[in-house]
Amino acid sequence: MTSDGTERLAAAWARIDAWLGQYAPGTAALLRPGADEERIRAAEKATGRVFPPELAAWYRIHDGMEHRDEGLDHLLPNATSMLTLEELVRENAFWHSTAYSGGGVEADEDADLVRLPFARNEDRYRGWYVDSRQEQETFGHLNSWLSGCSTDPYPGYPTWESWPLHIWAEEIAACLEQGRPLTLPDGSTDGRPALVPGGFLVWGSEDAPTALVGPR
């Protein structure tokens, strides 16, 4: 990733933080301060992977968030919560212990093990990760995962399954500011931001039968 990518990521987060501060103070209060370089390097050592520059920049801005029941920590699309560095390490270790536990592995045996999961829902059912394979052009790109489903590894941008992290963050910021659904690179949409009592951001269905509360 280029320095332009990390700068754009920081600018997108500044927009997200500003929106949360104005409209969703409950969610803003859950965000943790950024991690220092020592903790990022420790997470790299624990996972055995080099963090893509944009993922490291992500954690310098916010080291995940405190978690709340009833989905009140669903800051990110797909109703997911940001993981702390320690939680990322544990989730990566969980994948190591469970991936291919039922037998031998053929092609792409390391596919699950090189993914760095930085967001998931409380049931470990779905989440977001980035590709940590430095030799691939999708290094640092975002993808989603869904428990029990096959996730083909790392199709290239601009397919919706793989985004540079800064472009994804810019899209989230635009969704919040404009009150519109998340638009995937293929032009389809998937969920839209809303507010619930207490000043918490959630991501609701774009065709919800009742009006979503929040700025429009």
> Does pLDDT of 21 surpass 70?
yes
Beta bridge partners of 203: 193
Read off the pLDDT band of 109 (50, 70, 90).
very low
46-98 pLDDT per residue, tens: 999 999 999 999 999 999 999 998 889 999 998 899 999 999 999 888 876 76
Q: Residue 156 pLDDT > 60, yes or no?
A: no
Exposed e or buried b per residue across 192-201, where buried means at least 16 C-beta atoms within 10 angstroms of its C-beta:
bbbbbeebbb
With 0-12 / 13-18 / 19 or more C-beta atoms within 10 angstroms meaning exposed / middle / buried, residue 179 is middle
pLDDT at 145: 77
pLDDT for 1: 45
Instruction: Indicate the pairing of strand 192-196 with strand 115-120.
Output: unpaired
pLDDT of residue 136: 82
Query: Residues 150-159: what's their mean pLDDT?
Result: 49
Quote the pLDDT of residue 30: 98
pLDDT of residue 216 exceeding 60, the answer is no
pLDDT, one tens digit per residue, over 140-154 is: 988 887 765 555 444
